[in-house]
Amino acid sequence: MLLTVTEVITETHDTKTLRFGFSKDKRIDFIPGQFIMLAIPTEKDGKKTIVNRSYSVASSPTKDYLDLTIKEVPDGFTSKQLQNTEVGEEFEFSGPYGNFVFNEKKMQKIVLIGSGSGISALHSIIQYIQDKELDTRATLIYSNKTPDDIIYKKELLEMNDDMPNFNLFLTITRPEEMENFRQWTGHTGRIDTAFLQQCVKDIKIPYFFLCGSSDFVKSMQTLLLELKVNKEKIKKEVYG
């Protein structure tokens, strides 16, 4: 399916959201947490070609648009190219794909644990819960290097204020890189057992969604299994 970029939103210093508007005859139906394949026209070794990349849908299926939030990777050619996307450009989509999905009937309590751009799929789930006014209890534990790296920061803080069934916990892992360290009054350090238990009191009850780099997801799964969380209640999505 061919969709057109209707808006480009700057999220952070290295992350942008590409918004693709739906029309009556052009709409991708998906479940919160799924991803799509994006066909990216590019040039390699002087020849025009198409590169396919997978991206989690960052918006809820309740919206009349589809968001892809893309963080520039230092050695990532396509991520750098997509940062320069302009309104009006068209891209070919396929999908959706993936089993990293939220089941609103089965999952009454969920904990979303993400790092960096791993927030995309988790954001789709939270937005869906908000738009559908579900009773699902959702907790987001989100790790970033510095406050400037927090994607959707303003929106997440507003959700934390407006949604009685949503709790947000942020942590910063590289406070030494901040210009004004004293301005950050939140948690610092990587997500460990103590912080996890502080955020989630009844840790054996919720379903867990882990999204981030391979090392991050592995370490989070290890922590949860050590805390006797049922492996069947842990869903994983690895980036990169």
Helix/strand/coil (H/E/C) assignment for every residue in 14-57 = CEEEEEEECECCECCCCCCCCEEEEEEEEEECCEEEEEEEEEEC
Whether 67 is in a domain gets the answer yes
Residues 203 and 151 in one domain: yes
The count of domains in the chain is: 2
Residue 191 has pLDDT above 90, yes or no: yes
Which residue carries 């904990």 as its tokens?
111
The β-bridge partners of 16 are 10, 70
- Residue 34 banded pLDDT, cuts 50, 70, 90: very high
DSSP label of 230: -
Residues 76 and 121 in one domain: no
pLDDT mean over 191-217: 94
| The pLDDT value given to residue 178 | 65
Whether 49 is in a domain gets the answer yes
The CATH number for 190's domain is 3.40.50.80
Whether 71 is in a domain gets the answer yes
Whether 63 is in a domain gets the answer yes
Whether 57 is in a domain gets the answer yes
Domain boundary among 38, 67, 97: 97
| The pLDDT value given to residue 26 | 86
Residues 56 and 79 in one domain: yes
Q: What does pTM read for this prediction?
A: 0.93
Domain boundary among 34, 65, 97: 97
Whether 186 is in a domain gets the answer yes
Residues 124 and 210 in one domain: yes
Residues 27 and 72 in one domain: yes
The CATH number for 42's domain is 2.40.30.10
Residues 73 and 141 in one domain: no
Q: Does the bond joining 147 to the residue before it have cis omega, within 30 degrees of 0?
A: no
pLDDT mean over 200-222: 95
How many C-beta atoms surround the C-beta of residue 124 within 10 A?
Answer: 29
Residues 73 and 129 in one domain: no
Whether 104 is in a domain gets the answer no
DSSP label of 133: T
- Residue 73 banded pLDDT, cuts 50, 70, 90: confident
Residue 174 has pLDDT above 90, yes or no: no
* 159 neighbors 20 (Cβ within 8 angstroms): no
Residues 61 and 153 in one domain: no
Residues 155 and 198 in one domain: yes
Q: Please give the helix or strand (H or E) that residue 163 lies within, else none.
A: none
Crossing angle between the packed helical segments 153-162 and 119-132, to the nearest 10 degrees? 30
| The pLDDT value given to residue 195 | 95
Residues 81 and 125 in one domain: no
Domain boundary among 61, 77, 97: 97
**Buried b vs exposed e over 202-215: b needs ≥16 C-beta within 10 Å?**
ebeebbbbbbbeee
Residues 52 and 148 in one domain: no
| The pLDDT value given to residue 182 | 64
pLDDT mean over 211-220: 95
Backbone angles phi, psi at 223, to 5 degrees: -60, -45
Give the structural domain span for 18: 2-97
Whether 52 is in a domain gets the answer yes
Residue 177 has pLDDT above 70, yes or no: no
- Residue 82: partners with Cβ closer than 8 Å, 6 or more residues away: 16, 18, 40, 70
Residues 118 and 230 in one domain: yes
